[in-house]
Structure 1
Amino acid sequence: MSDLVDEPGPDVRLRLADERNAWLCTVRPDGSAHITPVWFIYRNSRWWIGSEHSSVKVRNIRKEPRVSLALEDGRFPVVAEGDASLILDGFPREVVTAFEQKYGWDVSAPTRPGSKRVLLEVHVRRWLLTGTAQ
């Protein structure tokens, strides 16, 4: 698959808006992959993912920010490679609202007593899309 510098086309943007799950791949300290399904929002050329502060994916991103994301449908691949940063507080209101609209979920609310939420912001470096293989 080849690199795409620009934003994906309207068909892919529609899928990013409609599809509920993506697979997030982070790198463990030993170099092995950690893959997990996540809920996501795609806004302002970025993927946004909520997580618990103590999760494996957050611990991995603290050490190695490079990540890959893929939509679930393997027949028509949509894969993004990028760099994740952690937002510990002050979540963008439009992102919180978008999660509420898409999932009926407050991405900023702790899921258990004493836990803390973080928001992953992934800046895409490269898109790998169906039909772009050489």
Structure 2
Amino acid sequence: MDKLSEDAKALLRRPLHGWATTVRPDGSLHNTVVWVDVDGDDVIINTAVGRAKEKHLKADPRMAVSVKDPDNDYHYLSVSGTARLETEGADAVIDRLAKKYLGADRYPFRQPGEKRVTVRLTPEKVIYSTGA
């Protein structure tokens, strides 16, 4: 199992959009643009119950998340591993991400009755380039 370096964590802490890849039921890959952060040694994103990412991960928890520094095309991070879905504290996580990406105290796009879920990805494989 690989670990995130402090430099890789610093890249994840920046308000950079990432992309998450999950596996569809037919085995094909599904990519979506995501807000991303780091919590300890895990990469986290947030979605809503019932969305494609959540459905895919319930069936097959393999996942990859990547980010690229817009100031240096060769400074990037790709993390793959097995994801866990967590509903406890997920509203606080999406609000924290809204603060990071929008400067908003609360996530402004919440739908009535929507239940949030945090996706926690523990790195098994890390590809990191400093761009140097």
TM range (shorter): 0.7 to 0.9
Give the share of equivalent positions with the same residue, in percent.
25
List gaps (5 residues or longer) in structure 1: none
RMSD, aligned α-carbons = 2.5
Secondary structure of 2:75's counterpart equals coil
Structure 1 counterpart of 2:26: 30
Give the TM-score, by structure 2 length: 0.79
Q: Which moved more, 1:10-19 or 1:40-49?
A: 10-19
Q: Could you tell me which residue of structure 2 aligns to residue 45 of structure 1? A: 41
- Report matched runs for 1:34-113 at 5 Å: 34-73=30-69, 74-91=73-90, 95=93, 98-99=96-97, 101-103=99-101, 104=104, 106=106, 111-113=110-112
Runs of 4+ in 1 over 4 A off after TM superposition: 95-98
Say how many residue pairs are matched: 125
Higher mean alpha-carbon deviation, 21-30 vs 98-107, is at 98-107
CA contact (8 A) 2:91 2:116 kept: no
User: Does the aligned pair in 2 maintain the 1:40–1:49 contact within 8 Å?
Assistant: yes
* Shift in Å, 1:14: 1.8
